[in-house]
Amino acid sequence: MSGPVAAPPPLETAAYDYPLPQAAIAQVPRADRDGARMLVLAAGALHDRRVSDLPSCLRPGDLVVCNTTRVRAARLRGRVGGRSAELLLLGGSEDGAAEALVRPGRRLHVGAVVEGAGWRAEVLGPGRGHPGARRVRLAVDPGVDLERVGELPLPPYIRSRLEDPERYQTVVSTGPPVSAAAPTAGLHLTAPLLERLAAAEVGVAGVELTIGIGTFAPIRATTIDAHPMHGEVYRLPGATAAAIGRCRQGGGRVLAVGTTVVRVLETRADGAGGVEPGQGITHLYLRPGAGFRVVDGLLTNFHQPRSSLLVLVAAFFGWERVTAAYAAALARGYRFLSFGDCMLGWQQG
């Protein structure tokens, strides 16, 4: 006799809301990255561990995949009409049209000009995906480096000053700074932890996803299906595709460090458990009912209410498991959001 049939996950955005006390939002990173707490989702249980315990949670032959993007100094502070204003650059070239989030939006109408230290930006029109988004034409004076005059774009819910800017970069970040936010699950990794993974015969590989509004725009529609997922640039190297192939051949599992990694791997799924190398723009929006063809496990932070990241996590683990895990994390004093703690689990178990 079969058991009761589980109710389908809800589609209403309100179901992905939850009360998040201000006190639960981490304002500063831990002194020890891998000392962050890690809630492990097991069969019928939730275990309190530390990120430093990650090697003991994996098996020889498993593969850990990280997002190696580097965050740019995307926040530009200037003035418009004698008053303070700021831009958060989301994409585009430094001397051409760009997409940006602006503050205060009520003053930055079409034709408004924001001027800063060696740069000026003219508002061309509304942007996409957020009420504060604008298309701007950015002009930079010769010899001015926006990486020097700009600031790292800490989320608005972080009100404390970051003493060391490298703490908003992962230890695996490479290449030029391009992202407007950090792949926060990767902030927990350390060089010694990566060495311990290698000693445990666990592989490590990388993908790139340039984080922009597609990752952090809140869901404003009344149903999650009505949310438009904006495109983000990605690259999946041939070496990573080969590493996943070897992992599969050896019976290993693929662990994604963060939701951005999940999106890249599932975008390039080859239908046989592996991936095709390549690059492009992904609009993939993973929500309950979606199949996961590559990723077996996920290490991820605790995300904001009504976010596409929370919807992805619910799609991966199951809505009821995630609801229980978030409630337990709040009750047990876990730290939430970008500088907070994390959770680890597998699709089954």
| pLDDT (tens digit per residue) in 150-171 | 999 999 899 988 999 999 999 9
Mean pLDDT of the chain: 93
Strand partners, 101: 88, 133
Residue with tokens 């009504």: 306
Give me the pLDDT at residue 47, please.
Answer: 98
Indicate the range of 212-216, 253-257, 273-277, 326-330 predicted with least confidence: 212-216
Residue 96 has pLDDT above 90, yes or no: no
CB 63 within 8 A of CB 207: no
Give me the pLDDT at residue 82, please.
Answer: 85
pLDDT tens, position by position, 281-293: 999 999 998 899 9
Confidence of residue 6 (pLDDT cuts 50, 70, 90): low
Largest CA distance in the chain: 75
Q: Of 308, 300, 312, which Cα lies nearest the Cα of 337?
A: 300
The burial of 191, by beta-carbon neighbours within 10 Å (0-12 exposed, 13-18 middle, 19 or more buried), is given as: exposed
Indicate the range of 79-93, 177-191, 195-209, 294-308 predicted with least confidence: 79-93
Give me the pLDDT at residue 1, please.
Answer: 43
pTM of the model as a whole? 0.93
**Which has the higher per-residue pLDDT, 21 or 217?**
21
Give me the pLDDT at residue 7, please.
Answer: 65
What SS3 class is residue 332? coil
Q: Is the domain defined by 14-71+163-346 classed in CATH 2.40.40.20?
A: no
Q: What gap in Å lies between CA 132 and CA 285, rounded to an integer?
A: 22
Pairing state between β 37-42 and 342-346: parallel
What SS3 class is residue 23? helix
Domain ranges of the chain: 14-71+163-346, 75-149
The superfamily in CATH containing domain 75-149 is: QueA-like (2.40.10.240)
